[in-house]
Structure 1
Amino acid sequence: MKGIQNKFKTLLSTAVATACLMSASADALTLRLATDSGTAGSPAGDALKKWGELIEQKSNGEIETRVFYQNELGGQQEVFDLHVAGDVDVMLNWPMTSYDKRIGVIYTPYMTLSWDEALKAYSPGGWVNNMLGGVYQDIGLKFFGPWPEGFNGVGSRGKYALNIEDADGLKVRTMTVFPAPQTMQALGYQTAAIDWGEVYTALQTGVVDGEAGNVIYWDYEYFRDSLDYYVQTKHFFMTGVLSMNYDSWEGMTEEEQKIVQEAATEIMNDQFKAAKEQDDHYIAEAQKAGMEYFEPSDEQIREFAKAAREKVWPLMDDEIGSEIMDVIRKNASPL
């Protein structure tokens, strides 16, 4: 019965998404923009909205945009499917690895350990940025650049962990992409890979004791009534990606392409300037709301990083290839 209900939910979600997108496709100059994470008024939602506004302004209204926020077209995987299929033209996404496991490079644990190192690596011309561009093109997407958020951590209730030993007995939600569960297991946690849209219910029902996939903004904004602590373990440097379906890109004139590219660059540059200040702001807001915030010492971070690199990086050789992992090993922050 549960399987039938889930199948019905998927079919209904797909039907609603198709109806929404068809309503936006009557005009050939209409671009459909979506994000898989972020409601209207959130930092990601505001960035997507501004991207659409810039496209319209720079084209003097000759290109119209339709913006779809979190869950309006389905869950993370469903919206990414629509993007790859061309039903969503432009996207601010947190990449799914179902089409190419090499996208998992963005979730390599402990590649960088500081803001300066991370922003340099992800900036245009940076070593991580260069790797991502080729991977995205191979699955039919135009890669504009990253939309950095900052270092993530673990939000939990009842208990928190500043070392691997103390993580024993804590079960946390991870993203459903490789190597998110494997990374948290290396740090000593029990894990449950849960889609973003199901996290609130999982916390409320006690399926998990915490959430380990995001910068503090998401845990503060959505789950602050359920979480007591936030430990900034820095296992991933979280970044969204600004991208466009390649067929949609190729279907535009050079002038239209220039407009979309320039708008994307402006959104990316804005976020590179704002990301650290934004993260600091929500750390303070979470503390005001009663959440205890912990920043592990350099020694504790090195303990986490050493464990993750020893246990997870060899798995990534098999999943995303030794050629990419050799680049990561060459450029990663020294421990």
Structure 2
Amino acid sequence: MTNVLNTTTRVARKMAVCVSLAFALTSVALASDDRHTFNLALESGDRDSVQGRSMQLWSDLIEENSDGRMKLNIFYQGELGGQQEMFDQLVRGNIQMMITWPQTSYDERLAVNYIPYLTLGWDDALEAYAKDGWLKTLLESVYADLGLKYFGPYPEGFGGIATKDKYATSHQGAEGIKVRSAPVFPLPQTVQAMGFQAVPIDWNEVYTSIQTGVVDGDSSNVIYWDYEYFRDQLDYYVHSKHNFSGYALLMNGDTWEELDAEDQRIIADAAQVVIEKQFNDARAEDEKWIAAAQEAGMRYIEPSPEEMAAWVERVRAEVWPLVAEKLDPDLMNAIRANASVPQ
């Protein structure tokens, strides 16, 4: 009798295991059949821009690797509103995915993205923002606290100051020149510390602002944007390199958590392909547009080593303490420990 009971028990256990496995496999199958449509927004760049093509690649990879179950509706610059408005909608989940310069209005720790003269050359910048780089690691926890999934940075290059009629390569020479700044801390403060008069303006209003004389130019963008969108208005591009221009690939955290593991993998892997491609292409892309701008008649100016050193010293002395007020000491200490050392 005991042997019969033991045999029955073993059979029951085996059946339970089989049922459990069947249920698990069925659950996976059902999960893999989920269909999703996401809204992906760009704050700047049309469909033919470098960003536009990159986001189309992200979309194509996601759709292909999910066998068409996941699709992205891509909205280009200005189609869904201004920078702050779209970032608001991303946090709320009305926009599910975005490539953006994150807005510090939600969490001032995001100012880490914009600390001036944090990296002083391509090698330092690419190392800091790489997949396992010290800066990317710091930013991941900040985005998570904000309810966002951070896939990584989308690097463009070092920003500069583009102007019409006049230009400056020093604090003294910049006096009286008004330049547009993205309304994100501490970019306006950085431009002010360089000697310019900073005027915070949303991207969609930059052309008209230059055209009507509200500002004399644009700041903190790589030359592509100033050449491609404002070339008929601007005469000079001073490569001050005060910021490393890099966007962030983000997804609403709740939307991300609702996905099964396989769909998360598909989206994240596709994002990594886009990011790695941009890391490989960014420097050559920036140099290509520097050459194109010069050929079109825009004067490209690199400050002398002495002028650069003076700007680095002044800007770090004035702006970094402002940033430190927004960050916890451990985070700021990590930044100071890893930042590029002036030569």
Normalising by structure 2, what TM-score?
A: 0.88
Write out per-residue CA displacement over residues 23-74 of structure 1, whole angstroms, 9 at most, x where no aligned residue: xxxx951122111111111011111111111100111111122111111111
CA–CA separation in structure 2 for the residues paired with 1:319 and 1:205:
35
Map of 1:300 onto structure 2:
307
> Would you say the 8 A contact 1:83–1:245 is kept in 2?
yes
Write out per-residue CA displacement over residues 244-267 of structure 1, whole angstroms, 9 at most, x where no aligned residue: 111111111110000000000000
> Would you say the 8 A contact 1:34–1:48 is kept in 2?
no
Map of 1:67 onto structure 2:
74
User: How many angstroms does 1:134 deviate by?
Assistant: 0.6
| 1:252 aligned partner, one-letter code | L
Structure 1 unmatched ranges of 5 or more: 1-26
1:100 aligned to 2:115? Answer: no
1:235 aligned to 2:242? Answer: yes
> Would you say the 8 A contact 2:116–2:242 is kept in 1?
yes
Write out per-residue CA displacement over residues 68-118 of structure 1, whole angstroms, 9 at most, x where no aligned residue: 111111111111111111111111111111110111101000001100000
SS in structure 1 opposite 2:61? helix
User: How many angstroms does 1:307 deviate by?
Assistant: 0.6
CA–CA separation in structure 1 for the residues paired with 2:100 and 2:250:
8
1:333 aligned to 2:340? Answer: yes
SS in structure 2 opposite 1:60? coil
CA–CA separation in structure 2 for the residues paired with 1:318 and 1:259:
39
| 2:250 aligned partner, one-letter code | S
CA–CA separation in structure 2 for the residues paired with 1:316 and 1:175:
17
CA–CA separation in structure 2 for the residues paired with 1:181 and 1:256:
39
Write out per-residue CA displacement over residues 219-246 of structure 1, whole angstroms, 9 at most, x where no aligned residue: 0011111100000101100001011111
Map of 1:193 onto structure 2:
200
CA–CA separation in structure 1 for the residues paired with 2:329 and 2:209:
36
Map of 1:291 onto structure 2:
298
From 65, 77, 85, the equivalent of 1:78 is 85
> Would you say the 8 A contact 2:167–2:174 is kept in 1?
yes
SS in structure 2 opposite 1:213? strand
CA–CA separation in structure 1 for the residues paired with 2:229 and 2:330:
38
How high is the sequence identity, in percent, across the aligned residues? 50
Map of 1:53 onto structure 2:
60
- Give aligned pairs, total: 309
From 202, 210, 213, the equivalent of 1:203 is 210
Map of 1:319 onto structure 2:
326
| 1:104 aligned partner, one-letter code | A
| 2:200 aligned partner, one-letter code | A
User: How many angstroms does 1:213 deviate by?
Assistant: 2.5
> Would you say the 8 A contact 2:111–2:185 is kept in 1?
yes
> Would you say the 8 A contact 2:35–2:69 is kept in 1?
no
CA–CA separation in structure 2 for the residues paired with 1:36 and 1:323:
32
| 1:80 aligned partner, one-letter code | F
User: How many angstroms does 1:327 deviate by?
Assistant: 1.2
Q: Which has the larger radius of gyration?
A: 2
From 115, 122, 128, the equivalent of 2:129 is 122
From 201, 207, 216, the equivalent of 2:223 is 216
Q: Greater shift after overlay, 110-119 or 85-94? A: 85-94
Q: Which consecutive segments of 4 or more residues in structure 1 shift more than 4 A?
A: none
CA–CA separation in structure 2 for the residues paired with 1:82 and 1:31:
13
User: How many angstroms does 1:149 deviate by?
Assistant: 0.2
SS in structure 1 opposite 2:173? helix
